Amino acid sequence: MNIKQVGIVGTGQMGLGMAQLLAQQGIKTISVKMTGGDVSTKQTQVEKSLQRLVDREKITEEQRSNTLSLMTITVDLHALRNCDLVIESIVEEMDKKQEIFSQLESIVNDHTILASNTSTLGITELSTAVTRKERLVGLHFFNPATVMKLVEVIPTLHTQQETVDGLVEWINSIGKTPVVVKDETGFIVNRLLTPYIIDAIRSCERGLSGVAEIDTAMKLGCNHPMGPLELADYIGLDIVYHMSSNLYDTFKEPRLTPPPLLKTLFVAEQIGKKSGLGFYDYSTTPPTPRSF
């Protein structure tokens, strides 16, 4: 599949991470900041990320410059009209994603593949917002996109097999490992991961043990690189809240409902590392586990 230019809708951690990943692979990217306003902060964020790689001798200064030359950040969705692939990466809310796809279909070319980076939402339901359903697919990259190797590929009953095969080939070409997954809420990873995280939150909530102790137990007892509460903070408690809610809405299993503590932190906008507070306080080095 000949993908020379990729659009990314959303400039959060995942959106910018995917754009940087692809630009480092020599692919021109256009990222659209959906909240409007100045894009200079986002540009600076990318520049700092690449500079850290230079400082750690992971890339050269020339590679940094080349990557930046391939990245454009804008607030104009119409800038994506000539992209071969557009990946949506906004908030995990069905209606907002459908609205974006409806707008995109009126902007992009007929050959453009539309994809969602959703972590849990059904791709078939998302596709009801477009008429060219055969060109829409799920492409779930993992955070940080520049490091994590897996990409879940989620076709619908409408998606052309040619499109799926082409995307699998393309994902391999950018150094990632594709896994084709049935279109069912949560796919593989988050279908298994989300119940694990919310069970850890409930264990903390009920006083089974403290935040640091729960994380230490799972790291040392199961050889996990991160504990479940540390991981929840890293993912973002807003995202974990939506993942839990989406799974419950589909399967109606009480254990999948967001625990009260998770909802409280979500409402308080204490959503983990990106806000500075979550299960840990990130104003200190190392982060301080909180008591609940």
- Please tell me which residue in 88, 92, 105, 152 is annotated as part of the active site: 152
In this structure, the number of other CB atoms found within 10 A of the CB of residue 231 comes to: 20
Q: Environment class of residue 68 by beta-carbon count within 10 Å: exposed (0-12), middle (13-18) or buried (19+)? A: middle
pLDDT confidence of residue 24: 97
Report CA torsion sign: 240, 260, 273, 69.
Answer: positive
pLDDT confidence of residue 271: 98
- Per-residue pLDDT of 60-117, as tens digits, reads 999 999 999 999 999 999 999 999 999 999 998 999 999 999 999 999 999 999 999 9
- Please tell me which residue in 31, 117, 143, 190 is annotated as part of the active site: 190
In this structure, the number of other CB atoms found within 10 A of the CB of residue 189 comes to: 16
The residue ranges of every structural domain in the chain are: 5-180, 189-289
- Please tell me which residue in 119, 143, 244, 246 is annotated as part of the active site: 119
Does residue 190 carry a catalytic annotation? yes
Q: What share of the chain is helix, strand, coil (3-state, %, to 5)?
A: 45, 15, 40
CATH of 189-289, one of 3.40.50.300, 1.10.1040.50, 3.30.450.20, 3.40.50.410: 1.10.1040.50
pLDDT at 1 over 90: no
- Per-residue pLDDT of 199-208, as tens digits, reads 999 999 999 9
Q: In angstroms, rounded to a whole number, what is the distance separating the alpha carbons of residues 8 and 115? A: 10
Question: How many angstroms separate the Cα of 75 from the Cα of each of 36, 38, 44, 113, 208?
Answer: 6, 8, 16, 21, 47
Asked if domains 5-180 and 189-289 share a fold, the reply is: no
Placement of tokens 């659009």 in the chain: 7
pLDDT confidence of residue 98: 98
- Please tell me which residue in 117, 127, 140, 246 is annotated as part of the active site: 140
Buried b (16+ CB within 10 A) or exposed e, 17-53: bbbbbbbbeebbbbbbbbeeeebeebbeebeebbeeb
- Per-residue pLDDT of 5-28, as tens digits, reads 999 999 999 999 999 999 999 999
C-alpha torsion 280→282→283→289, nearest 10: 20
pLDDT confidence of residue 117: 97
Does residue 224 carry a catalytic annotation? no
Q: Which position has the higher pLDDT, 33 or 2?
A: 33
pLDDT confidence of residue 169: 97
pLDDT confidence of residue 141: 97
- Per-residue pLDDT of 214-253, as tens digits, reads 999 999 999 999 999 999 999 999 999 999 999 999 999 9
pLDDT confidence of residue 119: 92
Q: What percent of the chain has pLDDT over 70?
A: 100
Fold held by 5-180: Rossmann fold (3.40.50)
